[in-house]
Structures are given as C-alpha cells and as structure tokens.
Amino acid sequence: MEKNRIVIGTRSSKLALWQADYVADSLRREYPELQVEKKLMTTKGDRILDAPLAKIGGKGLFTKELETTMLAGEIDIAVHSLKDMPTEVPEGLVISAITKRLDAGDALVSGKFRSLEELPAGAKVGTSSLRRKAQLLHARPDLNIQDLRGNVNTRLRKLEEEHFDAIVLAVAGLKRLGFADRITEVLPKELLLPAVGQGALAIETRADDAEVRRIIAFLNDEDTVNCARAERAFLARVEGGCQVPVGVHATVAGKELAVEAVIASLDGKRLYRDVRKGSCEEAETIGTALAERLLDAGGWEILHELGLLSGQGSAE
C-alpha cells in the first residue's frame, strides 16, 4: 500500500464523530500500518438551529463544507449519514463505499407513554422531519406535532425541557450513541417508512483518488448498496427535499429487491404508497418506476401544491 495516511473529514456532533470513529477504527484494523486522522468541521445545517430544515435548504446543508474541503485536498474522505447525501454528488467527488445498514427504522421516545397508540389526543410530539410528521398525522391526525431541531443529545434533552409527550428519532442514531434504552417503541414501517438511506453510512472520496477508493472498498456492503441505488433513484425521480414528505425503504432477499415508498401531503390526509420488486441488477430501474407510479397516483399534485418540483434532498 503506497498511501500511509488518511484524513477523515467529519461534522463535530457526537453522532458524526461516532460515524467517523467507526470508519477510522475499521481502517486501522484492516491496515494496521495506516495512519488515520480526523478533521472536525461545522456545516450550515449544524449552525442554523432555529429554523426547520425545509426552510433553509436541502441535503447539502450537512455535506457542502466537507465536500469543498475534500476538493481542496485537505481531507481524503468524508463520512456522512447516507440520508444526508444529495442524490447528485458534486463533480469530482463520488460515494465510494456504503456500509452495512444498522437499522433503517424510526423510534418513539417518551418518558410518559409506552407506545404511539397510548399517546392521548392532542399529545405534543417533536420531530424536525416532514416525512415523519406527514406519516404520523396520517395514522394519528389528532396529534400536535411541533418542530424539534438539534443533534440527538439536544433532542433528548428537549423532550423534558420543552414538555414533549414524545419525540421521534432514528433508531440507528440512538443505538450508535448508546441510547437504545431510551427507545419506547420502534415504529413499524407499515406506519412510518424511513428516509432514503437511513441507517447506513456513506464514504465520499475524490473521484480520481484511485488509491483511497481501493483502500476503503472493503467497507462496502453489497446488499446495502443495492438498496441505496433503488432508494436514491426513487428520490432523484421525485426530486423530493425536506419540503416533500417522502419515505422509501428497500430490502434484499437473495437476488430479489423489494422497494416500498410513500409520498404524502404535509397534513397526512393524502398518502400514496406502493411496492415494486425485481432483481438487484435493476435497482435504479425499480426505484424510478416506483416513483413514477406514486407520482401518477397523486404525487404530482402534492408537488405542485407545494410549489416544489426541484427539491434537493431529505436531510433530517
């Protein structure tokens, strides 16, 4: 191996640091002689905490500064939550590895109630995600859903401080930070489909850096990659951003890929949901076809009502 040092760019939140350390530790185990360093950065999404994500932009909020630094040659790789990655990666960069998905689900966290079903009418539920809000309102239109921003630790603190009856967070983030015991209920995907790529990590590199791409190739999980190809193709076709409530989840059984997705109105009153299956080789085709089906079923109408036909992702 020619290269003896890799610099990982990462956001400085506890979850982002966990993700970067996971990749760094994996690299050190695979290549004991490799020197692995971290460069901590703050993104626009980290700095602006007093506005809903849908109001301040799309997925690039959590990736742009890292990508600019990588293009400048200051870092070799960037580690992201895959769900924070825009469907179009900047010229000169590429997603070179996607790790095995931990858990794609969403969790209800409550100090007062044991399940979503047990929440009383008018219960105050916190989430920063329009995807979660729309699907929750579809199931429970009586809930009072309020914006909740900040990292995982901040949101858990606000659960008590701001008197939420419950909040909704990604299962993977809670587990990675050691908060599995805070999960009140893992919400079934029949009720709440996750964000594109939820639970998986994306490792971004310069497209022309063949040595680094070769070094990190062992981190790639083929099943998760196939799922991500379908989910990201779906999102690219819908052009859904924070501004459009979109959920999608792909699973692999043998060589068959099943993709389930939803497009909903903001108030949850209209919800279009469908499934499409096929071979893993056809992942993008399956995702795109499913998007077309849901758009034709009523999704186009929702996008037109929102005035958003050129969104940039679904960062949460």
Catalytic residues: 84
Structure tokens that stand for 146 in this block: 């309020």
139: left (phi over 0), alpha (psi -120 to 50) or beta: alpha
Neighbours of 163 (CB within 10 A): 9
**Displacement of CA 225 from its chain's centroid (Å):** 14
The rounded Cα 143 to chain-centroid distance in angstroms is: 24
54-77 as b/e, with b when 16 or more CB fall inside 10 Å? beebbbbbbbbbbbebbeeeebbb
Amino acid making up residue 166: A
Strands 201-206, 93-98: pairing is: antiparallel
User: Which strands, in side-by-side order, build the sheet including 166-170?
Assistant: 144-146, 124-126, 166-170, 106-109, 185-187
Sheet holding 256-264, edge to edge: 246-253, 256-264, 271-279
| Residues of the chain by 3-state class (helix, strand, coil), percent to 5 | 40, 25, 35
CA dist 219 and 206 (Å) reads: 17
Q: Report the sign of the C-alpha dihedral through residues 96, 102, 105, 108, in that order.
A: negative
CA distance 256 to 242: 30
